[in-house]
């Protein structure tokens, strides 16, 4: 009934990437052409789309198909044709067995086998003895999940195994109630549910009414969507709810995505779901209008998912193009296909990666996306979703436990923000809590702490306040430190003095052999009301990223890479420009005003006119030289404002000289033109250009960079309209 925003995001980011690729020469001089087709989750349409693409002799590669069920139909009907074509095909199919016979097919999704390894480890380490599985009766991915948990090596057998009918993501209450009644009688200690979010929300409500409170592991669906279904309906479920994390660490943003948005603030970053008017469901009354919701913001959960999917597709497109560019220049299309496939098979886990905008991409030997499967939990007594206390990571092909540190970084003070030195001072409290009680300050490293020029190491002081024992007023098990130090940052001074800066404290495990994951608190739980001299705090967040550490493998010629998680607490601050207005903008305004008034002197006072205007030019130059300089490799907005002033005054001097030539005794035609430019065009152009420079410093928010500017402009516009009306 609605086209999801992620489709629009995929189209936008891939089209932008194709434009950049072609502007950069394409693939050995050949332009890349992008064609997108939507199957609207219709398996027959999926087959038509793939078959149509394969018939194109210039087809270089394909990206897409995000359902194992539809993917099975595609490969059942077209598998032989796909294999013969050798077309690189990057899918989103999690069931790697579907495309296993075809070496040119990959998936950007993690394999279901990889996810099941994590689920089995979760069951074993949790000590569960009576797990039950509830799946969909016609979904291949659900079938595979069920097959994977029916037999857990060394673990328990299922105490119950159910397949329920789900159609159009809806579950009949009567059908689910029968399953609920049976589950209640068997007293499970874990429910494994793979029936999508909406049906899961309904069944959990029925289970709650039946008094079942066993922990639930959502294997197909999202906890956030389930919670949304519960907003106006009670009771919510009374047990812990687990889920495989599809978007990374909760309450921590993808740092690469945040930086991408930071660099492209004027781009479109909102991707709303759009009503699909061509769907016959609207005529048949099977589609329903959605209730009015708040306007979607960039970092809303649904919007960040859409952006993430779009950038993932962009990364896959870039991966294919980079592989194609490494082929010989005069290759045929078939030779390009073979080369790309061989190149992608070389991006094996632990050996090579492509650094994408979303993440570092590599494939396993099964040609599925390499990466850890994280587990999140919504505790029964809390509405927030967080990382489960125990995680599991793949090391040398095996699943090993990885601890989680619940961390809160509470800022006390920020001072001495120096853009020339690229540093700032920060003081904050650092709270740590983990099931691994030996994790403390000695296991942390602040990676962007300022290094002493005298060789005394990093300029950071960490003072213990509480060691986690229960013999104090502090919470038991929580370690507390007070940290103060000097940290580096990368200033962007293009918009100086109306600039925003990102101040970050980056941290990671000191020892790669004892790495851990970090779970920050919810956004509302870490808001700081700070007063920073000369700056205003606009936003704050916690970001996560992964470093790639290269090393030597079993032999000197073998290259190995090790992923390493890192995190950062970031504060976005806006420079207060009142002082700049008082010292620069207002004086330059008076200089331009005096220059403008000088043109109304009689032409016989030419020497006086020249004296005033030349003095204005020299005054603006002196003002610029008297200002403290910022260390920037490119012209700042302040530089542009002064250049505008120099140009305006110089232009006025030139016009005054022309006017003198055109008006020895009386005004000629040329003199009238000069007067019109001086009296009318000059003030409009000067004010308009200055207004544009200041407001463009931060896009649509530029008008309000200085307190009161927006209100002053609005009041002035109202007064002018009233005057004109009178």
Residue pLDDT, tens place only, 1-27: 888 888 999 999 999 999 999 999 999
What mean pLDDT, rounded, does the chain reach? 85
Residue 721 pLDDT > 70: no
The model's pLDDT over 369-401, given as tens digits with 9 standing for 90+, comes to 877 788 999 998 888 899 998 888 776 667 788
**Burial profile 238-273: b = 16 or more Cβ within 10 angstroms, e = fewer:** ebbbbbbbebbbbbbbbbbbbebbeeeeeeebebbb
Short-list 283, 195, 189, CA closest to 239: 189
Q: How confident is the model at residue 175 (pLDDT cuts 50, 70, 90)?
A: confident
Q: How far is CA 238 from CA 209, 381, 382, in A?
A: 10, 8, 10
279: pLDDT confidence band, cut at 50, 70 and 90? confident
Res. 233 pLDDT band, cuts 50 70 90: low
Give 654-663 contacts, CB < 8 A, sequence gap 24+.
Answer: 655/599, 655/682, 656/598, 656/599, 656/606, 656/609, 656/610, 656/613, 659/599, 659/603, 660/603, 660/606, 663/603
Asked if residue 181 has pLDDT above 80, the reply is yes
Task: Please state the φ and ψ torsions of residue 683, each to the nearest 5 degrees.
Answer: -65, -40
Band of the pLDDT at 706, cuts 50, 70, 90?
very low
Q: How far is CA 428 from CA 215, 387, 505, 526, in A?
A: 37, 24, 10, 12
For the cut 80, the answer to whether the pLDDT of residue 664 exceeds it is no
Q: Cα(424)–Cα(503) distance, rounded to whole angstroms?
A: 8
Nearest CA to 241 among 383, 142, 407, 135? 383
What stretches of 487-605 show up as alpha helix (H) in DSSP? Answer: 578-580, 586-598
CA distance 363 to 386: 28
CB 494 within 8 A of CB 546: no
Q: Is the dihedral of CA 316, 319, 323, 329 positive or negative?
A: positive
Model confidence band, residue 604 (pLDDT cutoffs 50, 70, 90): confident
Name which of 498, 573, 576 is nearest 528 in CA terms.
573
Q: How many CB atoms lie within 10 A of CB 276?
A: 15
Beta carbons within 10 angstroms of residue 45's beta carbon: 14
Give the CA count within 13 Å in the CB-facing half-sphere of 33: 6
**What tens digit of pLDDT does each residue of 525-562 get?**
555 667 788 898 888 889 988 766 666 666 666 556 66
What is each CA distance from 345 to 248, 284, 353, in whole angstroms?
Answer: 25, 48, 11
pLDDT of residue 78: 95
Distance of CA 344 to the CA centre of its chain: 25
Peptide bond into 497 cis (omega under 30): yes
Q: Model confidence over 328-349: pLDDT tens digits?
A: 998 999 999 999 999 998 877 5
CB of 244 closer than 8 Å to CB of 118: yes
- State pTM to two decimals: 0.79
Mean pLDDT of 275-280: 81
Say how many residues make up the chain.
726
d(CA 104, CA 99): 9
DSSP state of 584: I
Signed CA dihedral, 68, 72, 75, 77: sign only: negative
The CA-based angle 18-24-26, given to 5 degrees, is 60
Categorize the per-residue pLDDT at 707 as very low, low, confident or very high, splitting at 50, 70 and 90. very low
| Of 42-56, 272-286, 477-491, minimum mean pLDDT range | 272-286
In sequence order, what are the beta bridge partners of 467? Answer: 479
Residue 365 has pLDDT above 90, yes or no: no
Task: State yes or no: pLDDT of 231 exceeds 70.
Answer: no
- Lowest mean pLDDT across 70-79, 127-136, 227-236, 433-442: 227-236
pLDDT at residue 703 in the model: 39
State both tokens at 188: 């499970």
The confidence band for 705, taking pLDDT boundaries of 50, 70 and 90, is very low
Angstrom distance (rounded) from CA 209 to CA 298:
37
Tokens for 262, please give them: 């930071």
Residue 601 in this model has a pLDDT that exceeds 90: no
Question: Mean pLDDT over residues 554-581, rounded?
Answer: 79
Average pLDDT over residues 151-176: 87
The secondary structure of residue 64, as a DSSP letter, is: -
Higher pLDDT, 494 or 664: 494
Q: Model confidence at 176, in pLDDT bands (50, 70, 90)? A: confident
pLDDT top residue among 228 and 470: 228
* Distances, alpha carbon 335 to alpha carbons 25, 339, 634, in Å: 19, 6, 44
Residue 700 has pLDDT above 50, yes or no: no
Quote the pLDDT of residue 393. 78
* Beta strand residue intervals within 513-669, DSSP E: 517-519, 535-552, 559-575
Closest CA to 337 of 602, 27, 658, 25: 27
pLDDT value of residue 516: 83
For 75, the token pair is: 């490969």
Report in angstroms the alpha-carbon separations of 145 from 109, 141, 194, 563.
15, 6, 8, 27
Q: How many of the other CB atoms lie within 10 Å of CB of 34?
A: 14
- Give, for 390, the enclosing helix (H) or strand (E): strand 390-395
Q: How far apart are CA 332 and CA 31, in angstroms?
A: 14
ω into 235 cis (within 30 of 0):
yes
pLDDT on residue 60: 96
| Secondary structure of residue 417 in the 3-state scheme | strand
């Amino acid at each position: 009934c609605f086209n999801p925003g992620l489709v629009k995001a995929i189209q936008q980011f891939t089209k932008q990437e194709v434009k950049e690729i072609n502007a950069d020469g394409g693939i050995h001089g050949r332009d890349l052409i992008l064609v997108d087709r939507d199957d609207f989750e219709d398996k027959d349409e999926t087959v038509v789309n793939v078959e149509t693409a394969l018939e194109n002799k210039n087809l270089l590669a394909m990206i897409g198909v995000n359902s194992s069920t539809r993917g099975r139909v595609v490969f059942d009907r077209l598998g032989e044709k796909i294999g013969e074509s050798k077309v690189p095909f990057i899918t989103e199919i999690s069931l790697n067995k579907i495309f296993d016979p075809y070496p040119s097919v990959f998936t950007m999704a993690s394999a279901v086998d990889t996810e099941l390894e994590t689920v089995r480890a979760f069951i074993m380490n949790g000590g569960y003895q009576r797990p039950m599985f509830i799946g969909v009766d016609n979904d291949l991915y659900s079938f595979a999940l069920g097959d994977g948990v029916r037999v857990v090596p060394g673990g328990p057998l299922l105490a119950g195994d159910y397949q329920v009918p789900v159609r159009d993501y809806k579950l009949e209450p009567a059908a689910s109630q029968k399953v609920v009644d049976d589950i209640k009688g068997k007293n499970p200690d874990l429910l494994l549910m793979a029936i999508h979010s909406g049906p899961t929300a309904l069944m959990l409500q029925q289970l709650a009414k039946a008094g079942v409170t066993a922990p639930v592991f959502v294997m197909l669906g999202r906890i956030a969507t389930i919670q949304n279904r519960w907003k106006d309906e009670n009771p919510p479920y009374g047990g812990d709810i687990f889920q495989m994390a599809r978007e990374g660490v909760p309450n921590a943003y993808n740092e690469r995505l945040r930086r991408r948005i930071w660099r492209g603030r004027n781009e479109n970053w909102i991707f709303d779901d759009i009503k699909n008017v061509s769907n016959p469901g609207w005529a048949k009354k099977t589609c329903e209008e959605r209730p009015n919701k708040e306007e979607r913001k960039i970092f809303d959960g649904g919007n960040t998912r859409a952006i993430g999917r779009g950038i993932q597709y962009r990364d896959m497109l870039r991966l294919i193009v980079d592989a194609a560019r490494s082929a010989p220049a005069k290759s045929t299309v078939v030779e390009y296909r073979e080369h790309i496939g061989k190149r992608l098979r070389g991006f094996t886990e632990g050996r090579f990666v492509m650094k994408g905008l979303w993440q570092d991409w590599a494939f396993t030997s099964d040609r599925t996306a390499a990466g850890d499967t994280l587990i999140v939990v919504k505790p029964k007594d809390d509405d927030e979703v967080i990382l489960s206390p125990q995680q599991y990571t793949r090391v040398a092909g095996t699943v090993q436990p990885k601890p989680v540190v619940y961390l809160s970084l509470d800022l006390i003070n920020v001072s001495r923000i120096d853009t020339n030195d690229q540093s700032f001072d920060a003081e904050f409290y650092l709270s740590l809590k983990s099931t691994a009680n030996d994790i403390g300050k000695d296991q942390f490293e602040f990676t962007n702490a300022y290094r002493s020029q005298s060789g005394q190491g990093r300029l950071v002081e960490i003072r213990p306040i509480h060691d986690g024992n229960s013999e104090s007023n502090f919470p038991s098990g929580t370690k507390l430190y007070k940290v103060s130090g000097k940290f580096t940052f990368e200033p962007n001074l293009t918009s100086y003095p109306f600039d925003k800066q990102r101040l970050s404290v980056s941290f990671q495990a000191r020892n790669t052999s004892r790495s851990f994951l970090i779970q920050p608190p919810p956004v509302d739980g870490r808001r700081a009301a700070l007063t920073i001299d000369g700056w205003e705090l606009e936003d704050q967040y916690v970001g996560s990223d992964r470093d790639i550490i290269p090393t030597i493998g079993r032999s000197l010629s073998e290259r190995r890479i090790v992923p390493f998680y890192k995190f950062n607490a970031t504060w976005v601050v806006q420079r207060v420009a009142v002082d700049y207005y008082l010292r620069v903008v207002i004086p330059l305004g008076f200089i331009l005003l005096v220059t403008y008034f000088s043109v109304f002197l009689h032409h016989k006072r030419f020497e006086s006119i020249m004296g005033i205007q030349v003095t204005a030019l020299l005054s603006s130059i002196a003002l610029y030289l008297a200002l403290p300089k910022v260390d920037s490799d490119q012209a700042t907005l302040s530089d542009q404002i002064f250049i505008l002033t120099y140009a305006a005054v110089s232009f006025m001097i030139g016009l005054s000289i022309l006017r003198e030539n055109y008006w020895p005794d009386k005004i000629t035609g040329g003199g009238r033109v000069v007067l019109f430019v001086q009296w009318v065009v000059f003030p409009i152009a000067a004010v308009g250009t200055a207004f544009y420079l200041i407001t463009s410093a931060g896009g649509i928010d530029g008008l309000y960079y200085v307190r009161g500017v927006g209100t002053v402009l609005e009041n002035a516009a109202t007064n002018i309209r009233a005057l004109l009306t009178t």
